[in-house]
Amino acid sequence: MIPGPTPVPEAALLALAKHPIGHRTGEFSNILAEVTENLKWLHQTQNDVLMLNVSGTGAVEAGIINFLSPGDRILVGSNGKFGERWVEVAQAYGLNVEAVTAEWGKPLDPSAFAAKLQADTEKQIKAVIITHSETSTGVINDLAAINHHVKEHGQALIIVDAVTSLGAFNLPIDTWGLDVVASGSQKGYMIPPGLGFVSVSAKAWEAYKTAKLPKYYLDLGKYRKSAAKNTTPFTPPVNLIVALHASLRIMKEEGLESIFARHERLKNATRAAIKALNLPLFAADEYGSPAITAVEPLGIEADKIRSAMKKRFDIALAGGQDHLKNKIFRIGHLGFVSDRDILSCIASLEAVLPEVGYDNFTPGAGVAAANQVLIK
């Protein structure tokens, strides 16, 4: 129950164990063609959706450096560990980066972006980078509202870290006109870590033509060129792609609306349960992520709860990062997760909480509250 690596369906696990096939064969090209088609379906886009052999961070970095030049002015939303990371990436590449911050656990304020974008009458801002679902805090940022201001600006690209939102939350890339959207395989895609995805709009490809930041392995132009021939510029992680082939078929069978509704339901059940246990949620209801729920068990060491959950029930919960270490724990409900998983998690949590000194709840209240959401 962590926000990645997430659980993997059996069909995808078994696909992983197949002997790797040659990546320059017709057999593999056929798999790539179907995978690419299904990725476009999942991403709700006709844009290129490129696959790289990198983690989510590598995918977002590629999504940034392919479209910008040294000294370019950019805005980066930062209200958690990942927002902070994109600021660091931008600094590492010598971009003129301005962080638009919010407290960890709070969402980014769209009007803060509006103010800066509207003031930029000379159109110096080249890109706005937003983390959609901030995994470190369980906050979902209001991407639609921020994107609206970017579109009013007219020049800046919108670059989205959708690592824990893609495949969990409705993210209509073409409808919203999102230029660059990056994500990672061990999240909503229901396969292990090792693949990053970047979708690229026509407007972003225009920017690519004049972008001067150095790149080679992360050069998306190379991936695009190869993808057009159903191949890859460098040896791809064949087994992961074969697993993705299997997992995307499962996702198609479930359907986008069902996938999003399931994540919404699991989120609501988790949040209802935590409330019924009288534990504080780290992010408010209005901006709770469909991928992950952070809990701040004031007065109790979060890591004690995590280790008791692991020890007694073999359930892994994520901890807090940086200054939130031991202050929060995070329940992932992303990817191949079912109603039953939420119930076992909450039931187990009810069992361990008294062991670590917390009993300010009616036994069974968490499960009952979750069930009430799940039966709807």
- Point out which residues bind a second copy (CB under 8 A): 2, 4-5, 7-8, 13-14, 16-25, 53-58, 61, 88-89, 92-94, 184, 186, 192-194, 213-219, 234-240, 316, 318-319
Q: Which helix (H) or strand (E) covers residue 184, if one does?
A: strand 180-184
Closest distance of CB 31 from a second copy, Å:
14
Closest residue by Cα to residue 38 from 251, 310, 193, 281? 251
Measured from the CB atom, the residue of 117 and 182 that comes closer to a second copy is 182
Measured from the CB atom, the residue of 133 and 147 that comes closer to a second copy is 133
How many whole angstroms separate alpha carbon 347 and alpha carbon 93? 47
Closest distance of CB 64 from a second copy, Å:
9
Residue 271 marked as a ligand binder: no
Residues 6+ apart with CB under 8 A from 58: 52, 196, 218
110: cis peptide before it, omega within 30°? Answer: no
Question: Roughly what angle, to the nearest 10 degrees, separates helices 339-352 and 302-313?
Answer: 110
Closest distance of CB 323 from a second copy, Å:
17
How many whole angstroms separate alpha carbon 280 and alpha carbon 340? 23
Closest distance of CB 306 from a second copy, Å:
10
Closest distance of CB 366 from a second copy, Å:
23
Measured from the CB atom, the residue of 45 and 185 that comes closer to a second copy is 185
Measured from the CB atom, the residue of 82 and 282 that comes closer to a second copy is 82
Measured from the CB atom, the residue of 175 and 234 that comes closer to a second copy is 234
Residue type, position 99, single letter = A
Measured from the CB atom, the residue of 191 and 342 that comes closer to a second copy is 191
Q: Which helix (H) or strand (E) covers residue 242, if one does?
A: helix 238-254
User: What do you get for the CA distance between the two ends of the chain, in Å?
Assistant: 23
Strands laid side by side in the 318-319 sheet: 292-295, 329-332, 318-319
How many whole angstroms separate alpha carbon 23 and alpha carbon 34? 15
Residue type, position 77, single letter = G
Closest distance of CB 156 from a second copy, Å:
21
Annotated binding site for substrate: 330
